Structure 1
Amino acid sequence: MMGTTSFLTRARGLLRIRNQLVRECLAELLSTFIITLGCSAQKIAFFETKGNIVTSYVGSAVAVMVGIYTAGGISGAHMNPAFSLAMCLTGQFPWWKFPIFVVVQTFASFISAGAVYILYYDAIWHYSNGTLTVSGPRETASIFATYPADSISVANGFLDQVIGTGVLLVGVMGLMDARNKPVPKGLEPVAVALLVLSIECSMGANCGCPLNPARDFGPRLFTYVAGWGPEVFSRGNAWWWVPLVAPLLGAALGTFLYQLCVAFHYPEEESEVLAEQGSIVLVNTNIDRP
């Protein structure tokens, strides 16, 4: 036991990173890796049934909860460019960090998709009969990224994602607003996971409810380079750009609606101390530019 403790102490001394931005990026990388792994891996479980969508949504929600618990106190556990944008718009996250977090989140989703592919390599190839396809009865591309239902137009799918992400951001802001009626400290990740689950179950039929540009584009890019080919960008009338743009617009609208209907109207005499009692997912403002 003493030897193990000594080893961990030495390893910590050698590997500990003191630069706050790097620490945040590493935490964000790990948390986004977790949610992508949870979302993708759960889809493998219903290969044969193709109908147990709830299983996938539960796995996604639990992954969100674990991701927030993992990195919430370090990076804020954004795990989603749409959430990072909302935090920038409300002044709780510096704009100069936004592109950095987007790159980290997308890269984390890319490597997480690779981990899923390796983990379920045999199952994927068995199910697909040796052919990696993006469409058809044995397609496997939707394990990794979202695609609209055949009956859904690009315009309808775009609106779906704007509304879905807007609802997500309104809900998250309400849950975390210390001046409103916030979730008890420590249970914020559970509440956010339940919110995600409810949105996915009620709004997931049109296009799988991506709600997250990094979570969709990173795995989509992986499928492109891993053998699914360019159809991952052309299927659904070139659907791929919708999960990139629509969630960002939805996040901006959801943020504005919450401010317009709730946050703008608090008494001005309320102290800043109350605002600081919010959730761990909102704490990321004390770091200056390195």
Structure 2
Amino acid sequence: MVKLKVRSALVRECMAEFLGTFVLLLFGCAAAAQVKTSRETKGQFLSVNMAFSVGVMAAMYLTKGITGAHLNPAVTLSFCILRQTPWTRLLPYALSQLLGAYMASALVYVVYYDAIMEFSGGVLTVYGQNETASIFATYPSEYISLSRTFLDQVVGTAMLMLTILALGEERNTPAPAGLIPPIVAVIVLGISISMSANCGAAINPARDLGPRLFTLTAGWGAEVFTCYNYWFWVPLVAPMIGGVVGTMTYLLFIDWQLPDPDPTPESIPSVFTEDGKPQTAVGNGEKMSRF
């Protein structure tokens, strides 16, 4: 079989972020569609939370070897701050994640089109008992204030970054590389089941904006952006701030407080020649230090 390998590293990485976010949203939004249109006879609120978590795990296993499986602009921003990802990757990754979320929403809509139309009576709306917009994007509860929803998203995303950054830290208790995806999935599940009542626990700008843009173009109209006093900007801005807060908290309380790594034998220059005699000079004639 002929391998069609893309030459550009950036294009390959964007393809991975697109596909990973697509898989994540396909699991999550499909579960939301099933639960809502069946009037919770084929699943419950927990089903949606679990589906998104399974989506995270599947997407990470799928793409971790190419980009590290960011799947979230807030995660990409945090890794840029940590200098683990070049800043030039931030916008391409975010756009790829956004497009992946949009396309996944479109596929869920096609798959569940008949169920959505039957449930909504053919009226696609954001409000009321038969609203279907929340299948795709997140919306706040009517009882909560704008400032509280902003705090909600900051805290949720901060907790995400705070907890996942430690998983690969060799100076602490790192998780086995092959187990990181399910561990992250459990973390996402924990955030979802504890912090989603207020406004859906988006904690991911691409996860929210991609589906919202789809519903705008698929028949729900501008109401998806104007509803709840133009609330749509909260799950875009707050997670980015929350990601930075979580990252800085991790650095201040954990990373900078861990002991410096012990030098490995390979990193300590030898002070002896191959025949066992003391080595006193390097190639340019300078003295070699033992420490």
Report how far residue 45 of structure 1 moved.
2.0
Q: Equivalent residue for 1:222?
A: 214
Q: Equivalent residue for 2:100?
A: 108
Report how far residue 236 of structure 1 moved.
1.6
Cα distance in 2 for partners of 1:262, 1:269 equals 14
Q: Retained in 1: the 8 A contact 2:156–2:191?
A: yes
Cα distance in 2 for partners of 1:236, 1:214 equals 20
Q: Retained in 1: the 8 A contact 2:168–2:177?
A: no
Q: Equivalent residue for 1:49?
A: 40
| Percent of aligned pairs sharing the same letter | 45
Report how far residue 271 of structure 1 moved.
4.7
- Is 2:5 the counterpart of 1:16? yes
Change (3 A) 1:145 1:181: same
- Normalised TM-score (structure 1): 0.87
Return the letter of the residue paired with 2:62: T
Cα distance in 2 for partners of 1:45, 1:122 equals 11
- Out of 46, 54, 62, the residue aligned to residue 62 of structure 1 is 54
Alignment of 1:33-182 (within 5 A): 33-47=22-36, 48-49=39-40, 52-182=44-174
Cα distance in 2 for partners of 1:178, 1:141 equals 43
Cα distance in 2 for partners of 1:272, 1:101 equals 35
Cα distance in 2 for partners of 1:32, 1:269 equals 35
Cα distance in 1 for partners of 2:31, 2:44 equals 10
Cα deviation code 1:196-249 (max 9, x no counterpart): 000100111001100000010011001001110111011122110000000000
Return the letter of the residue paired with 2:76: S
Report how far residue 176 of structure 1 moved.
2.5
Return the letter of the residue paired with 1:80: N
Change (3 A) 1:94 1:134: same
Q: Flag the structure with more relative contact order, 1 or 2, with Cα contacts below 8 A and sequence separation at least 6.
A: 1
Report how far residue 257 of structure 1 moved.
0.3
Q: Equivalent residue for 1:200?
A: 192
- Is 2:20 the counterpart of 1:31? yes
Report how far residue 267 of structure 1 moved.
2.9
Q: Equivalent residue for 2:282?
A: none
Change (3 A) 1:268 1:163: same
Gaps of 5+ in 2: 266-291
Q: Retained in 1: the 8 A contact 2:172–2:258?
A: no
Cα distance in 2 for partners of 1:237, 1:39 equals 26
Change (3 A) 1:272 1:137: farther
Report how far residue 52 of structure 1 moved.
1.6
Cα distance in 2 for partners of 1:34, 1:263 equals 32
- Normalised TM-score (structure 2): 0.87
Report how far residue 146 of structure 1 moved.
0.1
Gaps of 5+ in 1: 1-8, 274-290
Report how far residue 90 of structure 1 moved.
0.7
Cα deviation code 1:161-188 (max 9, x no counterpart): 0000000100101222222111122000
- Out of 199, 207, 213, the residue aligned to residue 205 of structure 2 is 213
Return the letter of the residue paired with 2:110: I
| SS in structure 1 of the partner of residue 65 of structure 2 | coil
| SS in structure 2 of the partner of residue 73 of structure 1 | helix
The structure having more radius of gyration, on CA atoms, is: 2
